[in-house]
Amino acid sequence: MVEFLSKPWPWYVAGVLIGLTVPALLLLGNKIFGISSSLRHICAACFPAGIPFFKYNWKKEAWNLFFVAGILVGGVIASQLLTNPEPPVIAASTQADLQAFGITDFSGLMPADLFGTDGIFSVKGLIFLVVGGFLVGFGTRYAGGCTSGHAISGLSNLQWPSLLATICFMVGGFLSTWLLLPFIFKLF
């Protein structure tokens, strides 16, 4: 059993489990599955600064902070107790493209070349951690949701604005991958 759980889980298992989060949260307490809102609640709780967007009863939404704390704990459990003994299998074409960019570490879930702690204060860290993170935080709130709130919750309830948002997420990702990343990697 542990051996089965340690292997990478196939897409259809993960897809079903993630999809079931929508009814689980609805039936447990009338909660809408959406993770980026947790970032707003953190702003509202810690630095509201009199901004109207952060003046609301965040305590009523505290469930979302419990949920994301759980995700972090789940990450610890999965990586400590259900460790995959093999290095991840990466599609050959993607690996070749990334090697051409100068990525050398394919041993884990994230390349140490970009997401190692020693790169935090480098130009790479500035782009991949600081600029990337800022775009994720600003963009998701501007769009009114992320992959969970729009692509999964919104589409589950057949909301066409969520379909539009999801299409824009994908378009942004393709532009970033094919046009921006080759430019960024030339900087190093």
Partner 1 sequence: MATYKTTNARLNPEACEAPNNQVQSESFVGNLKYLVVGVFFGIVFVKAEIVSWFRIQEMFRLSSFHMYGVIGTAVVVGVISVFLIKTFRLKTISGEEVVFPEKTFQRGQIFGGLMFGIGWAITGACPGPLFAQIGAGFPAVFITLLSAIAGTWVYGYFRQRLPH
The distance of closest approach from Cβ of residue 50 to partner 1 in the complex, given in angstroms and rounded to an integer, is: 10
Contact set for partner 1, span 64-123 (CB under 8 A):
64, 66-79, 82, 84, 88, 90-94, 97-98, 106, 109-111, 114-117, 119-120
Among 1, 3, 11, 186, indicate the residue that binds partner 1 (CB under 8 A). Answer: 11
2 binds partner 1 (CB under 8 A): no
CA dist 13 and 156 (Å) reads 18
CA dist 136 and 126 (Å) reads 14
User: Cβ neighbours of residue 117 under 8 Å, at least 6 residues apart?
Assistant: none
132 binds partner 1 (CB under 8 A): yes
Contact set for partner 1, span 38-57 (CB under 8 A):
38-40, 42-43, 47, 49, 51-57
172 binds partner 1 (CB under 8 A): yes
CA dihedral for 167, 171, 174, 176, sign (positive or negative): negative
CA dist 165 and 167 (Å) reads 5
The distance of closest approach from Cβ of residue 7 to partner 1 in the complex, given in angstroms and rounded to an integer, is: 8
The distance of closest approach from Cβ of residue 87 to partner 1 in the complex, given in angstroms and rounded to an integer, is: 10
Count of residues of this chain found to bind partner 1 when the rule CB under 8 A is applied = 139
Indicate the angle between helix axes 37-46 and 132-143, nearest 10 degrees.
Answer: 100
- Identify the residue whose tokens are 């500035």: 126
